[in-house]
Amino acid sequence: MAKRALLSVSDKTGIIELAEGLAQHGIEIVSTGGTANILRKEGIEVTDVSDITGFPEMMDGRVKTLHPKIHGGLLCLRNNAVHMEEAVREDISMIDIVTVNLYPFEETISKKDISINDAIENIDIGGPTLIRAAAKNYQSVTVICDPGDYTTVLESLENDGAVPDDIRKMLAVKAFRHTADYDSAIDTYLSKKLLGEDILRMKFNSATELRYGENWHQEAKIYIEPHLEGPSVAKARQLHGKKLSYNNYIDADNALQTVKEIEPSRPAVAIVKHNNPCGFATGDSLAEALQAAWNGDPVSGFGSIICTNQTFDLESAKILKGRFIELILAPDFEPDALEYLKEKSEKLRILELPELNDEFQQNHTYRYITGGLLKQSRNIGIYEKWECVTDKSFPEDKRDLAEFSLHACKCIKSNAVSIAYEYKKGCFMLLAMGAGQPNRVDSIRKLAATKAIENLELIYQRSKPDVSFEKYCQQILSNCVMASDAFFPFDDSIVQAAENNIYYIVSPGGSIRDDEVIATANRLGVSLVFTGMRHFLH
């Protein structure tokens, strides 16, 4: 049974209740300075650390617990006869519970214009030492560094007055993590302030095994950032289906990034295959957006990832009848839609992410390369300017369509082009895209333009308009907007676009041949807007 507890906390949350609970179990409370004063005011009997050590707290509280009478009581191995004999000889009493949390260093350095001296004064020395000593001897000592664990410990004492092994082990690991994070924050701050070095230390929680990696023979795991806030596939709740694979996470993340380019008040759907949005659309309803997104590339939709920014309803679910889908991610699912999807396939992965429409909290992205880690700020926004550089003006009523095309383009792998179509007033779809080509003209000529015509042929066959297919394509494409993720190095991209009846183009500009590109656009009757913002995605 625990007999003595040392309480010394910076965060006083719940400390009175903990002390009262310990006292009810006959446990002696030992404490320091401010913590002891608070407990005494509540009528809790407290022994000062200075009464045990025989030394007063000194040097503005810098020195108070660093003493053999304290650390001997923590580190003594109870089953070691020599240790116990030495403890008796030196009049060292055992300490069975340690409750410590640390000076708020990270909170201090987050304040504006904090001085280096103020930061250093908030580096705890005695606290981490107590925590580490108690955690090292977890077989006999219970260490608590999180007020959220007070209730767990008190409830465990209700049995026989002893904290169970499994709880002590859990708390010891948590304690070492706590001091590791604390030291990491100090290292990062002082490395920059004192040495001018930019240090990056990262922490992720325990890994979850994935079904497999990019390929069947590769093993894979996912580690999740602690205290993760905002929308993330890593925190989505799986409601149904097979275990997720590495590629599922990669594609679902791209789908999430894509659909969040659209304001959440507007129903939007992104369909991703091999880390590229092959379908992307808005609509007056989710079902309408899903159908339009599917029409953008029904072939690539096979085995795809679907992400929506609205609650997935039954009407939308029925659109997927007879279509193989790997995964659906949505903020919520209507009960009848969820049952329909479950019956559709026992393998279909269904993920719920209630925070999907919240703002992203992460300001940077990271990518590991062999032996190194790249860090960059997130790609936010779609343009820095809106400058029509051609004789033919860019119609204001195509501005929204152009912005949609840019939103799609920035989520497509470079060299990327997107062709966007207003299939209904105020409703847009990605008609076709070109991705991942070593040169931009191939993205247009061999991929986007060709795919647009193929997709239009399918739409034409369903709608059967009273016009020839050639005329139909010309009418549609001449009203589309093509976006490019980077400047045109030559005018051949403009030529290919015009040959396919695409006359409205947005691009960052900035090529040494911009004048040549603009001249060709003027010659071919193309309206060209420069945005000043590049969107490479590698």
The order of strands in the sheet holding 237-240 is 237-240, 349-352, 325-330, 304-308, 268-273, 276-282, 427-434, 417-424, 481-484, 504-507, 527-530, 387-388
Q: How far apart are CA 8 and CA 65, in angstroms?
A: 10
Q: Cα separation of 14 and 199, whole Å?
A: 35
Strands (E), 248-293: 268-273, 276-282
Question: Going along 445-530, which residue ranges are E strands?
Answer: 481-484, 504-507, 527-530
Identify which of 83, 74, 202 has the alpha carbon closest to the alpha carbon of residue 126: 74
Is 136 annotated in the active site? yes
Q: Coil, strand or helix: which one is 366? A: strand
The residue from 3, 83, 136, 342 that is catalytic is: 136
Tokens (6 digits) for 63: 């020195």
Q: Which two tokens stand for residue 159?
A: 């049995």
- Provide DSSP, 154-185: HHHHHHHSS--HHHHHHHHHHHHHHHHHHHHH
Q: What's the 3-state SS for 417-469?
A: EEEEEEEECCEEEEEEEECCCCCHHHHHHHHHHHHHHHHHHHHHHHHCCCCCH
365 Cβ neighbours under 8 A, 6+ residues apart: 375, 376, 377, 378
**Exactly one of 83, 242, 274, 446 is catalytic; which is it?**
274
Where in the sequence numbering do the catalytic residues fall? 136, 274
